[in-house]
């Protein structure tokens, strides 16, 4: 039931009847639908798991080093642990310690030349040597000259290494050595005078 003179916008609903008494009723022409509010569902992104991948060290560009007058070409070592418990790197360090010890002995005037560590000494050369020769005796001589490092010619010979060929560079390195130690004449030939000097001093 509506009060007398009441105004109604819309509809009046009752279980039995709607009683009107001088009422103004206005019907709503259309119902504006309500826009549903979107439900935002949070998206849970998976957390990335970082997995450490072991790096395998493989040989790369050769590195040439010159220690004690000898050129040694090394590759980046691949380290393997052997049954003895020592890795390749440990063995290399042991070898370097031995070479350093030999160099220290030579520098202090003790022991023999570094070339003796390779099984033969320059004193084992019994033949005369000159430019153009090629033999194992030339290798011994070149190693000896490199180990003595008496000047720029010996340094250049170290970069080339012991090639077994008695060329101009070997002759210059030998002449350089002869001049430094007082062997006359210092022509760069390996003969009786140089051999006698070596036997007396090495």
pTM of the model: 0.43
Please report the pLDDT score of residue 197 as a whole number: 93
Please report the pLDDT score of residue 77 as a whole number: 45
Could you tell me the pLDDT band of residue 50, with boundaries at 50, 70 and 90?
A: low
CA distance 184 to 179: 7
Q: What mean pLDDT, rounded, does the chain reach?
A: 75
Dihedral (CA of 142, 148, 149, 150) sign? negative
Could you tell me the pLDDT band of residue 74, with boundaries at 50, 70 and 90?
A: very low
Residue with the two structure tokens 């003796």: 116
Give Cβ neighbours of residue 122 (< 8 Å, ≥ 6 apart).
113, 115, 140, 141, 143, 144, 198, 202
């Amino acid at each position: 039931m509506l009060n007398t003179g009441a105004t109604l916008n819309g509809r009046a609903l009752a279980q039995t009847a709607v009683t009107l008494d001088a009422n103004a009723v206005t019907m709503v022409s259309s119902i504006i639908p309500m826009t549903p509010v979107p439900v935002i569902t949070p998206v849970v992104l998976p957390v990335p798991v970082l997995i450490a991948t072991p790096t395998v060290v493989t040989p790369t560009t050769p590195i040439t080093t010159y220690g004690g007058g000898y050129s040694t070409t090394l590759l980046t070592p691949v380290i393997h642990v052997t049954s003895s418990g020592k890795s390749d790197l440990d063995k290399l360090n042991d070898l370097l310690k031995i070479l350093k010890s030999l160099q220290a002995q030579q520098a202090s005037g003790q022991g023999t030349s570094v070339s003796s560590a390779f099984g033969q000494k320059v004193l084992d050369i019994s033949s005369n040597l000159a430019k153009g020769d090629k033999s194992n005796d030339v290798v011994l001589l070149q190693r000896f000259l490199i180990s003595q490092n008496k000047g720029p010619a010996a340094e250049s010979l170290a970069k080339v290494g012991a090639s077994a060929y008695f060329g101009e560079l070997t002759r210059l390195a030998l002449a350089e050595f002869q001049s430094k130690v007082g062997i006359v004449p210092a022509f760069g030939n390996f003969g009786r005078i140089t051999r006698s000097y070596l036997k007396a001093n090495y």
